[in-house]
Homo-oligomer: A and B are copies of this chain.
Amino acid sequence: MPPRKPRSDAARNREAALTAAETLFAREEDAARVTMDAVAAAAGVGKGTLFRAFTDRDGLILALVDRRSDALRARVEGDEPPLGRAAPPRERVVALLDALVTFKLDNRRLVLALEQGGAASPFRSPAYGWWHGALTDAWRELGDPDDAPFLAHLMLAAVRADLIEHLTTAEGRPPAEIRDRLTRYARSLMP
């Protein structure tokens, strides 16, 4: 009983919804104001269809973010330096953090919508666990292995979407500065 392939209209509608949602989230400053009704309308699709395809609001947002981060995830899971497992750990930690913050800078609105999404805390999400794992691995080769998971949490806390948003928008810091300071921050934590 492998899941049978989706019907053609279902696939088409799913795509339409994703595209519409992408535009709406990009346009609207406050993610909470992008309603499911609005997405359905913009996609030219019924509301029921939307929920059938993505289960709930969080599911939709997650699908959007997933699509954007596929390429990045592949690079981290591969071997190639500087992000892959073959990279020397000092460089890898810095590269991971930089890739993460760059991704969030490029997808501010979307990630923001995800992180302040509904009930489930971001920490239980597969994405968080996955990043946490990658960072922990890298840190473990650098210092006290007991400390690695904790440090990984701290790195992820440093690039929380709403913090990044605040630094760029409210404080007007240019992305380059943020990336630079974070890099030096990571280095200063290394033994």
Contact = CB atoms under 8 A, between A and B. Distances in A.
Interface in A117-142: 119, 121-124
B163 A157 contact: yes
Given A153-B167, A157-B163, A188 B189 contact: yes
Contacts of A66: none
A163 B153 contact: yes
Contacts of A124: 170
Interface residues of A, number: 26
Nearest to A154: B158
Interface string A162-175: 11011100100000
A150 interface: yes
